[in-house]
Structure formats: C-alpha cells, structure tokens
Chains A and B, each alone.
Chain A
Amino acid sequence: GIQVEQSPPDLILQEGANSTLRCNFSDSVNNLQWFHQNPWGQLINLFYIPSGTKQNGRLSATTVATERYSLLYISSSQTTDSGVYFCAVGDSGGGADGLTFGKGTHLIIQP
C-alpha cells in the first residue's frame, strides 16, 4: 500500500514564529488532506489539496503531485495552533478510498 511520511515528528516554537510541515507519499494520489487533531481527538479539516496551492488565513498548503510531497505552512503561530497535524492520502489505484495517514507532526507553540 501507499506510504506516508511526515516530518518533523515534533516541533516546538515560540508564539509568532512560522513553521513548515512536510508530507511525502510513495505513489500517485486522488486525495490529500491535512488535519489538525484537537486535544479531544477530533480531526479538523484544514485543506483538501491533491494538487496545487491553497490559503486559509494564516495557513497555506502546497501539493506537488508529480514529486509526491505536500507542505503545510503556518505563519505567526498562536498557542491555539498546538496539537497534532496529520497528512492523509487516498490511493488513486483500486476501488477503495480509505485514507492512509502519516504518523503526524506534534506541534507545541509556547507563549
């Protein structure tokens, strides 16, 4: 099956700093999503981005499908940005559409 690697696994930053999270995947995809998991375990949709670039406020994401990676940018970090960020992909081959998740990046924003 498709492999998803996220880096870095852990990131500690001061409030106001910028950060870049990376997601590498091993095969072509028909779905790529970035999620933020809150302390209660809920997965919050950040971006649906199988290709191209999107921006939403202080967050933006870019997926280069031909090179099999995606980047999530967080600017002017706030303490509320803390949590685990997951990249998840859907394999474009076969009939099943379940997402394969990476292990996540644990982000801590210190005041």
Chain B
Amino acid sequence: EAEVAQSPRYKITEKSQAVAFWCDPISGHATLYWYRQILGQGPELLVQFQDESVVDDSQLPKDRFSAERLKGVDSTLKIQPAELGDSAMYLCASDRDRADNEQFFGPGTRLTVL
C-alpha cells in the first residue's frame, strides 16, 4: 500500500541551528501539505503545494521557515534558526487533487530544540 514517507523520524537540535525535514508523498498525489502539531493540540497547516506551486503559506513563519517542492514531487521544510518554541511534530500529508481530497499523513518528524 502506498504511503507518505518522511525523514528523519526524530531530530534533536540546539537553538539557533538549522534543521530540514523531507517528505515524499504518495505517487500521483499532486497536493502536498506540511502541518505542525504541538503536544496536546491538533495539527495546524503550515503550507500547501499544488504540484510545485505554493497555494497557501499564510500560517508559515516566513522569517525562519521555508518550504520548497521544486519538481512537484518530494518536498523539504527548513527552519533557520530553530527556536525553543519550534519543538513539535512536523507532519506531511498528500492528496490526489481537489476532486479526490482525502488526505493521507506520513509518520511525522518529532523535533526537539534544546
């Protein structure tokens, strides 16, 4: 069964360092999402891609966060510099398109900033 892949699964870093997360969506899925989940809360959308284009990045803290999906397939989310408050689970999801919009999530990357 096709799955969304993410790496690394766990990341520990010190504040002010740069970190990067990778996501490979289900093959054939045009839409890719990055969410952040703080402990005890539901996930919140950071950015949505349609193929290689950003559809919504209104909740992405652009002073330190960046995201790209250069070839419209896999994607990278970067934080530079990391802050203590960035400690969270970072989840990637994908769906086929607007007409078939059931989202499937990867296993997530758990980030701890010391």
Contact = CB atoms under 8 A, between A and B. Distances in A.
A41 B108 contact: yes
Nearest to B33: A98
B105 interface: yes
Interface string A22-40: 0000000011010100001
Interface in B14-62: 31, 33, 35, 37, 41-45, 48, 55-56, 58
B91 A43 contact: yes
Interface in B57-86: 58
A45 B55 CA distance: 24
A64 interface: no
Interface in A70-106: 86, 88, 90, 95-104
A46 to B, nearest CB: 11
B97 to A, nearest CB: 9
Contact of B48 (A4, A30, A97): A97
B41 A103 contact: yes
Given A31-B102, A45-B104, A90-B101, A96 B56 contact: yes
B89 A97 contact: no
Contacts of A104: 42
Contacts of A4: 42
Interface of B: 31, 33, 35, 37, 41-45, 48, 55-56, 58, 89, 91, 93, 95, 98, 101-105, 107-108, 110
18 contacts: A4-B42, A30-B101, A31-B103, A33-B102, A35-B105, A41-B37, A42-B107, A43-B91, A45-B102, A45-B104, A86-B42, A95-B56, A96-B56, A97-B95, A97-B101, A99-B43, A99-B103, A103-B42
